[in-house]
């Protein structure tokens, strides 16, 4: 059952006439009722998989949000293709997709949390944006690309943290985020770091508005190989006036 009338460079099935190669996984490019339903189901499934993965780590908005994002993006592409077939020559297929790409930013911005010099939620924001792109691919019938990118995204979210962790363990450079209850702690920390053989590349001291006299200290240092980073951070945290130490 066809859902619209083809035109111009589109053949009787709603597929571009210039296309010669059939997709490997699924052929959802033809404009039929069955394929429209399959696109919607696939968008819902892929969005849910990404959301469940993020939700299991207590990150992002979870399955409902990612499923809604992917489904919404797919709906935009389905609507674009329907309008293209129904009103020949009057619709630019890429225009509505471009609005999704730029408009999804408000969800990504809402998932980013900035606290002092710490920024969290960037990975969640990027995965939301990618989820929307996957929805666009499914909506236009590019199932191969959507499935492949979903697999790559899940691999990136699972494997890269392990690789990053090992790389950072080998690296001697570290940026320290330190909270202190007094401003003179910065001078004490600098003296401690330099006396232990650390090379200080950059440091910044900022008074916290919400915490009265507490201050935030950001220091980038190179820790000598003879010192173990984890143990050294705990040693710094035990210094007088230091409330919190974290490597960022």
Domain range for 54 is 33-167
Same domain, 182 and 97: no
CATH number (domain holding residue 212): 3.30.70.260
In this structure, is residue 210 part of a structural domain? yes
In this structure, is residue 124 part of a structural domain? yes
CA separation for the pair 187, 44 (Å, rounded): 55
The alpha carbon dihedral of 236, 237, 242, 245 has a sign of positive
Same domain, 229 and 214: yes
Same domain, 38 and 139: yes
Same domain, 203 and 191: yes
The DSSP code sequence of 54-100 is HHHTT-TTHHHHHHHHHHHHHHHHHHHHHHHHHSTTS--HHHHHHHH
Under-50 pLDDT residues of the chain: 1-2, 4-10, 12-13, 15-20
What's the pLDDT at 161? Answer: 83
In this structure, is residue 227 part of a structural domain? yes
Same domain, 178 and 160: no
Of 114, 141, 167, at which residue does a domain stop? 167
In this structure, is residue 125 part of a structural domain? yes
| Structure-block tokens of residue 55 | 């939700």
Domain count, the chain: 2
Of 167, 200, 220, at which residue does a domain stop? 167
CB within 8 Å of 75: residues ≥ 6 apart:
40, 139
In this structure, is residue 1 part of a structural domain? no
pLDDT (tens digit, 9 = 90+) per residue, 185-238? 788 888 888 898 888 888 787 776 555 567 888 888 888 888 888 888 888 888
What's the pLDDT at 25? Answer: 57
In this structure, is residue 38 part of a structural domain? yes
What's the pLDDT at 185? Answer: 79
């Amino acid at each position: 059952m066809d859902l619209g009338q083809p035109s111009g460079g589109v053949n009787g099935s709603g597929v571009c006439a210039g296309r010669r190669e059939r997709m490997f996984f699924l052929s959802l490019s033809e404009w039929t009722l069955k394929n429209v339903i399959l696109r919607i189901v696939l968008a819902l499934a892929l969005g849910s998989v990404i959301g469940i993965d993020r939700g299991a780590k207590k990150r992002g908005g979870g399955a409902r949000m990612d499923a809604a994002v992917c489904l919404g993006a797919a709906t935009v592409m389905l609507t674009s293709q329907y309008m293209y077939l129904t009103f020949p020559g009057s619709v630019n297929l890429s225009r509505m997709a471009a609005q999704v790409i730029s408009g999804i930013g408000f969800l990504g911005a809402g998932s980013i949390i900035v606290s002092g010099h710490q920024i969290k939620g960037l990975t969640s924001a990027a995965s939301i944006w990618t989820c929307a792109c996957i929805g666009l691919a499914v909506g236009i019938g590019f199932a191969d690309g959507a499935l492949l990118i979903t697999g790559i995204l899940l691999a990136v979210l699972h494997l890269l943290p392990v690789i990053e962790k090992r790389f950072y363990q080998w690296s001697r450079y570290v940026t320290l985020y330190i909270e202190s209850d007094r401003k003179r702690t910065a001078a004490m920390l600098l003296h401690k770091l330099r006396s232990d053989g650390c090379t200080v590349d950059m440091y910044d001291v900022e008074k916290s508005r919400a915490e009265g006299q507490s201050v935030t200290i950001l220091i980038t240092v190179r820790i000598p190989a003879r010192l173990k980073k984890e143990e050294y951070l705990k040693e710094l945290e035990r210094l007088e006036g230091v409330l919190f130490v974290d490597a960022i």
